[in-house]
Amino acid sequence: MLRRCILTCGATATAVLAFAQPAPLSVAHEKSRFAVIDPTYDPLKTSPAPDIKTNAAPWLYGEAELECWRLHVLREQSSAAKLKIGYPGTYHTPSSKGTFSLTLDASQRLPESLVLRAVGDVVVRLAGGRELYRGDASESVHRVALPDNLPGGDHTLQVALSTRGEPPALVIEDGPCATGVAPWRWAADGVHFEEPQAFPQTLSGVPPHRVELSEVVLEPARREGDLFDMGRELFGRISFACSGQPSLFVGESPAEAKNSDPRHFEQSPALKANGDGTWTSEHPLAFRYFRITGGQPSDVKCQALFNPAQYRGAFACSDERLTRIWMTSAYTLRLCRHDFLIDGVKRDRLPWVGDLAMSLMANAYTFGDGEIVRRSLVSLGRAGIGQTHLNGIVDYSMWWIVAQEYYQLYYGDEAHLRREWGRIKDTVARLESKCDPDGLYVTGPKDWVFIDWVSEDKQTALQIIWWWAQTSGARLADRLGDQETAAHWRSRAETLEKTLRLRAWDETAGSWRGKPDGTSGPSRHAAIFSVVSGLAKPEQHAALRAALLSDQLKPVGTPYVAGFENIALARLGETDALIKQVSAYWGGMIDRGATTFWEALDVKQKGDDAYGFYQRPYAKSLCHAWSAGPAAFLPAEIFGLRPVADGWSRFTVEPRLGSLQWACATVPTPRGDIEIALTPTHMTLRVPAGATAVWRGRTFNGPRVYNLDL
């Protein structure tokens, strides 16, 4: 179901670089308003308004059933829109049957009837077998007459549901059996019961698994001839009035929109007639530009689709270009926030684990929304790796473990970790089973090792990510008190580390080899991941810094890995190198007219050639979540703002302005927003309640504003 509203950007504003007594907007929000791209931008509230009904009993679903259903829906939509994408991997198919069970207190007096809403056909019975009610699937409530006394000491009610493909779901508003209050359990097979998951009711009344993106109606910014320009990248449907039989052509670039050859379409521009002389694109489209031929269109609009979000985070600095880059990164991510953090709005529209490792950090520093990250992790990992690696890629199975720890650090969701723990342990165990006695992961002839879109030796980089996954897993085990597992994984990681230092580190060259064979040449990717993961020792930093700053190593192939490279440079003390690279690389896309950041950039490509990828002329995604890294690493590395305890309960502050004259940021956390303003000689830091900042070995507890001399 779509929710419709009309929004425009707010006016720009300015502010001094100091905290006012209390202001509706932070300094960073005020200083960055000039760079806003998003027509729904709002730092003070969620926009568009979410379809959530507060203070109401929740809907209950089986564990991961809603998330996996929504992934199924996205896969179906991608296929219907004729996107040219293969989506490898094995994914959990939600059950079409489920039983909700509630054991009542024997002394509890039951109401005369049970009033429930459900998804699916309904059978209500006592666990002993007595049937109390049977009803067909309905949008209306079901009223179940209950006995005065439960016979034979049987105090367990069961609501069995069966659907025609959707995930079964249950909500009971009031009384002792209300969902969200009573201890309901759920089982797909009616036997093995576990705790269900709760999701808020919607204002629209539809069950949560049917909620689609919200609709915002926008008009084109300009028109030149038959080419309409929305002024920014968007995702949505195009509607217009037109006589005759019109045709629609869309593109993220003018060249793509001007293409009329169906062989080069990256998405279906099919139109459907509304019966009143108006037309609407059949499928949501990713575009900035479009053409309508075959008539004279009027009342042209875009029904843009957005996942509700609040721009809680902000960044601004004395370099206006960097401020624009941060805001463009934030908007890039915004368009890629659907049910999950998807990779790109044009070609895939699906979640990938490796992309998530970067985009979840960008999300943490901009929107602070943990739920979309949780959903992404659950849907991607639910099927496990018994048949195939996650997304069919070896390193993505490893990234899933790393991303699980990132999720805890940024959001502190122990309940999620406990639900996922069995799958995490199984994933690590299956990966471990493919290792040799020296701890190296042994790839098979059909294994896909991605790392990056480059052709070079990737084995050492893969092994470093594997080391990272094991140490991340050990820290997750520590959180749950599973010391046996933690010790085992640390031992395995230590074995691998010794092997890598012996076979993959080239002491003479001061770099990691592409393969752990003692002879191969150096690898930029291995150097990057060794620093970001923490594998590299301090005594290696000088050599790795020199290697990354040189042009002797083959460059990375995507903004995805370039993001990790800039994190590595900053951790090695090279803030100015970070600023220079970000300005050139991401700024280079802005120089080419980008309003969102691209899947890749080859500076040698000129003109329309820059839009080609996968040997197709317009295949390159010009809005890709893995390219939103600056939204995370600019505030994380310039201010050194990083969580070191779950949910930002404890975080570091290690400011490194470099050549900047000033900088300020707002970082959203589950405990409230961190605000920081920095000059070469002074720092103002707002620490939220329940959080502790660590700076130069000192601790600063919230809630409080600190004015500190540097």
Q: What is the pLDDT of residues 616-625, one digit of tens each?
A: 999 999 999 9
pLDDT for the residue numbered 154: 65
DSSP string, 68-135: HHHHHHHHHHHHHTT------S--PPPPSEEEEEEEPPTTPPPPSEEEEEEESEEEEEETTS-EEEEE
Q: What pLDDT, on a 0 to 100 scale, did the predictor assign at position 13?
A: 30
CA dist 685 and 693 (Å) reads 9
The distance of Cα 530 from the centroid of its chain, to the nearest Å, equals 24
**Can you tell me the mean pLDDT for 679-694?**
98
What is the per-residue pLDDT for 19?
A: 43
Phi, psi of 474 (to 5 degrees): -65, -40
- What pLDDT, on the 0 to 100 scale, is given for residue 383? 97
- DSSP letters of 273-303? E-SSSEEEESS-EEEEEEEEESS--EEEEEE
Task: Answer for the pair 343, 286: CB distance below 8 angstroms, yes or no.
Answer: no
Angle at 540 between CA 532 and CA 468, to 5 degrees: 30
- Whether residue 10 is predicted with pLDDT greater than 60 in this model: the reply is no
Q: Is the pLDDT of residue 210 over 90?
A: yes
Residue 585 confidence (pLDDT): 97
Q: Summarize pLDDT for 238-285 with one digit per residue, the tens.
A: 999 998 899 999 999 999 999 999 999 999 999 999 999 999 999 999
Looking at the DSSP assignment, which residues form a beta bridge with residue 247?
A: 293
Nearest alpha carbon to residue 564 among 659, 457, 464, 666: 464
Determine what percent of the chain is predicted with pLDDT higher than 70: 95
Helix (H) or strand (E) holding 663: strand 663-669
SS3 for 314-359, per residue? Answer: EEEECCHHHHHHHHHHHHHHHHCECCCECCECCCCCCCCHHHHHHH
Token pair for residue 433?
């089973």
pLDDT of residue 498: 98
> Which domains does the chain possess?
59-210 (2.60.120), 214-306 (2.60.120.260)
Give 153's pLDDT tier (boundaries 50, 70, 90): low
> In this predicted model, what pLDDT tens digit does every residue of 520-542 receive, in sequence order?
999 999 999 999 999 999 999 99
pLDDT tens string 157-184? 999 999 999 999 999 999 889 999 999 9
Give ∠ CA 325-331-336 in degrees, rounded to 5. Answer: 130
- d(Cα 268, Cα 261) in Å, to the nearest integer? 12
